A and B are shown apart, each in its own frame.
Chain A
Amino acid sequence: MKKTLRILFGVSLVLVSLWVIRTSSTFPEAVSAGKKIPGPAFFPVLLSVVLIPCGLHQAVSALRSGTEAAGRRWGSGTVNGAIVILSLVVYVQLMQWMGYALSTFLFSMYLLLRLRVGVLKALAVTIITVVFILLVFGRLFQIQLPLGELGIPW
């Protein structure tokens, strides 16, 4: 898996670099005292030129490495990771709709229970976290936490 990922990463780097060079070629040129000087394209192109050999090195060294190296096993842990990311996306969507407090309560409870924390403990941790953030961010620092479309003030 690691070998395949490294090859994919190397190839992606090369492709991204080529895309950056192509996009940068459409940027306007800069002129100073009648002379052409490096414009907005200069720095990204320069970086892409450095990234291409780095990407090739990743891909080639992975190809040369022979058999697949034993690394992380992709089992139930991967499922947990994917669930965290998916629930994060749902959490952000919920926050935009029902505001900070309710969405954070649901997100925290779901994840804690999913990660095998007892119900009472999960409830206590969730309430303390939600209230702590409300007090520190919302009250002390006066940071506007999301109200959501429902307009719940907390």
Chain B
Amino acid sequence: MFEEILAVFRPAILFPWLLSMAFGVLIGGTPGLTATMGVALIIPVTYYMEPLAGMAMILGVSFTSIFTGDIPATLLRIPGTPASGAATLDGYELTKQGRGMEALSLDLLCSAIGGFIGILLLMAVAPPLAKFALKFTNFQYFWLGIFGLSMSAVLSAGRPINGVLSATLGLLVSTVGMDITTGLPRFTGGNMELLEGIGFIPAMVGLFGLSEVLKNVGDAKLLGKSSIPEFGRISLLRTLKIILRNKMTVLKASLLGTCVGALPGAGADIAAWVAYGMEKKTSKNPEEFGKGSIKGVIAPTSANNAALGGTWIPALVFGVPGDSITAIVLGAMLMYGLRPGPLIFQENLELVHGIFAVGLISQILLIPVGLIGIRIFGKILRMPRNIVMVIVLIFSVIGSYAIRNSFFDIYIMAAFGVAGFFFEYLDIPLPPLILAIILGPMIEDNLRVGLIKTHGGFGEFIFDPICLTLIFLILFVFFGGPVMKFFRRNKRK
């Protein structure tokens, strides 16, 4: 393994790797550009490189863009990537309190630690965990998706019923378009552009970007002022002390993030929400969450980078992608003439070790690269609010257009932006809505394919040990708090 670590410092690998990390900073920090998009764009560049250099570039882009996605999420409440959705909750609250730099430095170190733990787990437990994830049935995936949504619905600010409303509405939005099982167009109104469904990127950009612009331009007093009140100063030593005080939170969230990432289809975005939810549920001070809680920053940011390591588990061991990024990675591996799956551990063991080495070292490199990213984007985003809002608006428009080269997507973004503005006014949380749009197709497909397999029988849907466990967890998410309060009160009496 030591030889493989030395091998990755060859210029042929190191330079493209560092360049890809700089590219990841740009991708993640720009709202509307996703880590998946960054990886997809870099694949053609890696075509003529040796496989390890290509893999290093892919890992570099994905790790840095997932972290830098948290920068606009923390400073402006606009997630740079979908995995940064949970970072908007407490990170942005800390920014409003003038502690933006504290939140970002915590975020950076937790991302690096989470990513490190994720890769270590990938190295240690890949085969047994991947086997477990592969055995998941359609119904179990359905309940896993509902569990992720329940977490998001309960955890977002406001009343849980509003969270349920938001998630249900998001699921309904996800049914627009061609039904995958029968090919029937649903709720498209004859519009060809809607056959592919409502894209989650324009929806996400609208809900988090345009709605924020509308909120800001609506307040004339704030327009000439900086969009970030006080930035604060970065102190890695102080941040390390905070992390040491919360070491169990970092560890728990990283382990959880890796496990969630290892389940195919459940990527860094779900991992972040689940980790945030678990932390809030088990916290002694759950009321602090959503108001600038340090643990509320640590948990999702540790989990989302740890999940990236997790997503490589089924991809490397069984050739099944853990998320959209590893789906592209599998395509790239085939392009390099590699065969992802169990045989890769026999035929290309050096490459596998090289990937592990790159993954581990990327976490160390993430710290200086991330600090540069924070400084660059911090300065850009500190401009007066009226200027920032116009720039955000233009990026929202171009980002929405760029995904499918579609003007229609800009209107989708605008519609979701207006809806998001009113939803916030009515205390309806936005994160469950966007997560439901992302997870909706997976949830519905697994439910219906499962029912086709059982010829419409609902027995396995509920009476299966894993399904029952997930159902119990979902019920616990909704009713655990009140039930525990009830018992505590009775105990006191």
Contacts and interface: CB of A to CB of B under 8 A. Distances in A.
B398 A88 contact: no
A71 to B, nearest CB: 7
A148 B47 CA distance: 33
Contact of A145 (B172, B214, B398, B444): B398
B393 A77 contact: no
B394 A40 contact: no
Nearest to B223: A115
Contact of A136 (B26, B384, B451): B26
Contacts of A39: 181-182
Nearest to A104: B394
B454 to A, nearest CB: 9
B165 interface: yes
Interface string B378-403: 00000010110111011101100110
Interface string A1-33: 010011001000100000010011001101011
B414 interface: yes
Contacts of B414: 85, 88-89
Given A37-B451, A48-B172, A72 B217 contact: no
A135 to B, nearest CB: 11
B447 interface: yes
Contacts of A58: 165, 426
Given A91-B397, A96-B407, A125-B391, A116 B426 contact: no
A119 B334 CA distance: 54
B181 A40 contact: yes
B41 A50 contact: no
A35 B418 CA distance: 44
Contacts of B1: none
A26 B218 CA distance: 43
Give the interface size class of chain A: 35 or more
Contacts of B171: 43, 47
A150 interface: no
A111 interface: yes
Between B26, B213, B421, the greatest number of chain A beta carbons within 10 A of the residue's beta carbon is seen for: B213
Contacts of B137: none
A113 to B, nearest CB: 10
A30 B180 CA distance: 13
Contacts of B26: 136
B218 A72 contact: yes
Nearest to A136: B26
Interface string B200-242: 0000000000000110011110011000000000000000000
A154 interface: no
Given A35-B455, A104-B398, 10 more contacts: A44-B186, A54-B161, A58-B165, A76-B220, A80-B217, A115-B386, A133-B398, A141-B41, A143-B405, A144-B405
